[in-house]
Amino acid sequence: MGISEDSFVYALSSNQAWAGYKAHQNPDFFPRLATGQSPEILWLGCSDSRCPETVILGLQPGDVFVHRNIANIISPTDINTSAVIEYAIDQLRVKHVVLCGHSACGGAAAALSDQRIGGVLDTWLTPLKAIRNANKDELMAIRDEKARIVRLAELNVEAGIKVLMANMTIQEAIRDRGLQVHSTLFDIGSGRIRDLGFGTAKGGAKRGSSATNGTDVVRGNHGMLVFRSDGASMHVQ
């Protein structure tokens, strides 16, 4: 049966195969996972189906705490986003907050248009349209539509980082234990993540402990994500 015929049945069948393979590969994987979670990364991203954070980071279930919404908009009045941030930082005590936009973003494309989408989406995308209006001359000077969408996605991440850096929970964690805040953009066409340079690195806020010389490593079963003051890199184990 092809996935196009009945995607849900296919997904359930695929889950059974995946769970069986993981249990065979590592019999302790699921029992250990069931005892609790201790992720080091909070990922704030877009709901786009092409941006599955754990997959593109080369990590595993339990490695990343996640919040995703349309166009990865960070609003200080959104209680959903605020609750995730508070839980991840105060309860799970993550070491990294990663805000990630992406290329070919439908939300960015919609915000660049003057057409109504309808329903709640027009309200949700209002902050992104405000960013467009504030940077209209720069954006309209970009002739290539795909490049214009990417630029708006970058500006959206920059604006989101400003909101995150003003969040009291994040401010306290940066001050008290060196929480790191990262701004990134995922290029769907290449599968690679680019560091945009906003957050604790640019602001000069307190970074990792002196014992690591500003370098932090998040280890998964198949790779490790290395954070440094000049960006992040992925190493396959």
Active site residue 100: no
Active site residue 102: yes
The one catalytic residue among 46, 67, 96, 132: 46
Active site residue 105: yes
Nearest C-alpha neighbor of 107 from the set 124, 90, 87, 86: 124
Both tokens of 4, joined, read: 């196009």
Both tokens of 155, joined, read: 């500006």
Active site residue 68: no
Both tokens of 141, joined, read: 């000077």
Judge whether 194 and 184 are in contact, CB under 8 Å: yes
Active site residue 176: no
The one catalytic residue among 63, 67, 105, 182: 105
The one catalytic residue among 67, 96, 102, 182: 102
The one catalytic residue among 32, 50, 177, 192: 50
Please give the positions annotated as active site. 46, 48, 50, 102, 105
